[in-house]
């Protein structure tokens, strides 16, 4: 029976975060257990979003955003991997027996496996804020779902109060039930801790400056307290033993959760890349290898289009390029032998798409054929913006002076107009440009432009695709098609592959740098 209550319990204990500091780990108190060399780890194209400990075996499960579950020293009961989901999975919880587990999605959809019963969910119900976590009731066998606004939804588990409808400094990121099932705690990204029922408040990181936000909470099975974990692997203990953390240690990707061992004498942290960091009596039993760019979206804009030259009525129409009018698009240039820029751009773009997908990225193209007209430059920018791309690039080849050679990476200058404001992405775009510049030159062997920009880069405020972007974006002129030597390169499939590799490497290096903690 669904027992979701929409009215806050007046007697619920809501304790403000007092900022009591937990224990921070120094290098001498951090331990990462090496993986046993028993075979290759499983691979995932989706980032890990959480984990749970099997209370019967002491093993654990990792779950990815697409619902795939990976079992290590614990039985596999099934997963949503390979099944279309309305929203990504955001967390999991094991049953008290360890004979099953639940997965919960951002829309509150609930998926039960093994002996985990389905008691209802928020799936299909409008929510003010997305669901961010789930916790099992060790007494009733029910569970709670918690939302980013602190709203708490109980299913065959007692409702003891929530932060729903109350002002929060930072969103709630997770919850944990007390061992006796008589209470639970919600934790916010700033470390603020809110306790309900018999769950005691022992302190929190609320009000204390943090290197990275808190991403989760776990109760000590012994019932003495709880621990908060940050995205950088920093671990803060309140009334619970501290066994170490990854705080201060560089990580490839952020920590996304933690889980204690059944006896409470250890715990594991899990990263978005699947990395497991084990402390205390928690053994390392394996992990999943997540592809480097999993969970990230890249937008690629192959400049121009094959039908542009035959439809001037469309491509000559003016559009707003960010405070000024410019043509919808142009036909582009070509080599003296007649190899067109639009064909070059599309070929390099699709090659880069293949390479980026192999690294786990989701790739969106502004056009998927080389026979159409447009789209206009403002629509091309909108494709990347609507996709919330982590990086975007517009691929071109130049029609410069015949005696000039080389490539140019063009970065956006700050532009604020009635229809645009790209100031927030100017800095990140410059970083993206620096990575693309270095990788493209290294992978292709081509020199930086001898006639445009400085040292392979330029900054411009007259390109609508850059002015209208709300995501980090650059434009690359891969070569000068009017130069005989450069033209020969663009006509070579082998060199176009090198150009795609250079673009891919630059984007990947930019994205990986942003993921490291």
| Per-position b or e across 52-69, b if 16+ CB within 10 A of its CB | bbbbeebbbbbbbbbbbb
pLDDT band at 267; cut points 50, 70, 90: very high
> Can you list the positions of beta strands (E) in 263-403?
266-271, 276-280, 289-290, 297-302, 318-320, 325-327, 362-365, 391-398
What is the distance between the alpha carbons of residues 274 and 252, in angstroms, rounded to a whole number?
Answer: 10
Which residues does residue 396 pair with via DSSP β-bridges, in sequence order?
A: 477
Residue 313 pLDDT:
94
In this model, does residue 300 exceed pLDDT 70? Answer: yes
Return the active site residues: 477
Task: Copy the structure tokens of residue 420.
Answer: 């645009």
Mean pLDDT, to the nearest integer, of 427-440?
98
By DSSP bridging, strand 48-53 and strand 100-105 are unpaired
Mean pLDDT, to the nearest integer, of 405-424?
97
Task: Copy the structure tokens of residue 497.
Answer: 């592959």
Angle between helices 341-358 and 493-515 (to 10 degrees): 50
For the chain, the helix, strand and coil percentages under 3-state DSSP, each to the nearest 5: 20, 30, 55
In this model, does residue 6 exceed pLDDT 50? Answer: no
In this model, does residue 48 exceed pLDDT 90? Answer: yes
On whether the 27-290 domain is CATH 3.40.50.2000, my answer is: no
What is the distance between the alpha carbons of residues 218 and 225, in angstroms, rounded to a whole number?
Answer: 9
Neighbouring C-alpha atoms within 13 Å toward the C-beta of 251: 27
Q: What are the structural domain ranges in the chain? A: 27-290, 297-515
pLDDT band at 40; cut points 50, 70, 90: confident
In this model, does residue 25 exceed pLDDT 90? Answer: no
Residue 361 pLDDT:
98
In this model, does residue 144 exceed pLDDT 70? Answer: yes
pLDDT digits (tens, 9 = 90+) for 460-503: 999 999 999 999 999 999 999 999 999 999 999 999 999 999 99
CATH number of 297-515: 3.40.630.40
Residue 39 pLDDT:
62
Backbone CA torsion sign across 170, 176, 178, 181 = positive
- When comparing pLDDT for 385 and 38, which is higher? 385
Which residues does residue 61 pair with via DSSP β-bridges, in sequence order?
A: 52, 71
Mean pLDDT, to the nearest integer, of 153-180?
97
Residue 517 pLDDT:
83
Q: pTM of the full predicted structure?
A: 0.88
pLDDT band at 390; cut points 50, 70, 90: very high
Residue 10 pLDDT:
27
By percentage, how much of the chain surpasses pLDDT 90? 92
In this model, does residue 176 exceed pLDDT 60? Answer: yes
C-alpha distances (whole Å) from 54 to each of 51, 71, 290, 316 are 10, 9, 22, 64
By percentage, how much of the chain surpasses pLDDT 70? 92
Task: Copy the structure tokens of residue 324.
Answer: 């000024």
By DSSP bridging, strand 318-320 and strand 325-327 are antiparallel
Q: How confident is the prediction for the chain on average, in pLDDT?
A: 92
Among candidates 136, 142, 134, which has minimal Cα distance to 118? 142
């Amino acid at each position: 029976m669904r027992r979701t209550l929409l009215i806050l319990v007046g007697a619920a204990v809501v304790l403000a975060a007092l900022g009591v500091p937990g224990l921070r780990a120094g290098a001498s108190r951090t331990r990462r257990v090496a993986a046993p060399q028993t075979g290759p780890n499983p691979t995932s194209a989706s980032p890990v979003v959480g984990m749970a400990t099997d209370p019967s075996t002491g093993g654990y499960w990792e779950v990815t955003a697409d619902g795939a579950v990976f079992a290590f020293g614990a039985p596999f009961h099934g997963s949503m991997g390979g099944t279309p989901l309305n929203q990504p999975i955001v967390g999991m919880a094991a049953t008290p027996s360890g004979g099953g587990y639940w997965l919960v999605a951002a829309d509150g959809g609930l998926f039960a496996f093994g002996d985990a019963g389905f008691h209802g969910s928020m799936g299909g119900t409008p929510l003010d804020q997305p669901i961010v976590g789930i916790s099992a009731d060790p007494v009733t066998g029910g569970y709670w779902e918690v939302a980013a606004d602190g709203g708490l939804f109980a299913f065959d588990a007692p409702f003891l109060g929530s932060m729903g409808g109350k002002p929060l400094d930072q969103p709630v990121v997770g919850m944990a039930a007390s061992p006796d099932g008589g209470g639970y705690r919600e934790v916010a990204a700033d470390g603020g801790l809110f306790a309900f029922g018999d769950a005691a408040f022992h302190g929190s990181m609320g009000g204390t400056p943090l290197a990275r936000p808190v991403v989760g909470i776990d109760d000590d099975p012994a019932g003495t307290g709880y621990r908060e974990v940050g995205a950088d692997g920093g671990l803060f203990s309140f009334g619970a033993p501290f066994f170490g953390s990854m705080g201060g240690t560089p990580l490839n990707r952020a920590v996304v959760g933690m889980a204690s061992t059944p006896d409470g004498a250890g715990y594991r942290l899990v990263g978005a890349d699947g990395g497991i960091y084990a402390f205390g009596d928690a053994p390392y039993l394996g992990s999943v290898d997540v592809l480097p760019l999993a969970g990230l979206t890249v937008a690629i804009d192959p400049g121009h289009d094959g039908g542009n030259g035959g439809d001037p009525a469309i491509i000559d129409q003016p559009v707003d390029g960010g405070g000024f009018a410019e043509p919808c698009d142009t036909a582009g240039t070509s080599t003296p032998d007649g190899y067109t820029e639009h064909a070059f751009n599309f070929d390099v773009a699709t090659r880069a798409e293949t390479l980026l997908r192999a690294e786990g990225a989701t790739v969106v193209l502004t056009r998927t054929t080389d026979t159409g007209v447009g789209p206009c430059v403002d629509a091309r920018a909108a494709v990347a913006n609507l996709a919330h791309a982590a990086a975007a690039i517009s691929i071109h080849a130049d029609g410069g002076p015949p005696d000039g050679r080389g490539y140019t990476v063009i970065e956006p200058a700050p532009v604020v107009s009635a229809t645009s404001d790209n100031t927030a992405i100017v800095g990140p775009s410059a970083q993206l440009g620096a990575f693309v510049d270095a990788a493209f030159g290294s992978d292709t062997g081509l020199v930086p432009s001898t006639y445009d920009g400085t040292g392979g880069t330029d900054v411009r405020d007259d390109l609508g695709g850059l002015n209208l972007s709300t995501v980090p974006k650059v434009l690359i002129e891969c070569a000068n098609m009017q130069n005989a030597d450069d033209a020969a390169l663009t006509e070579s499939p082998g060199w176009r592959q090198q150009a795609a590799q250079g673009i891919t490497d630059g984007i990947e290096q930019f994205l990986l740098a942003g993921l490291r903690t």
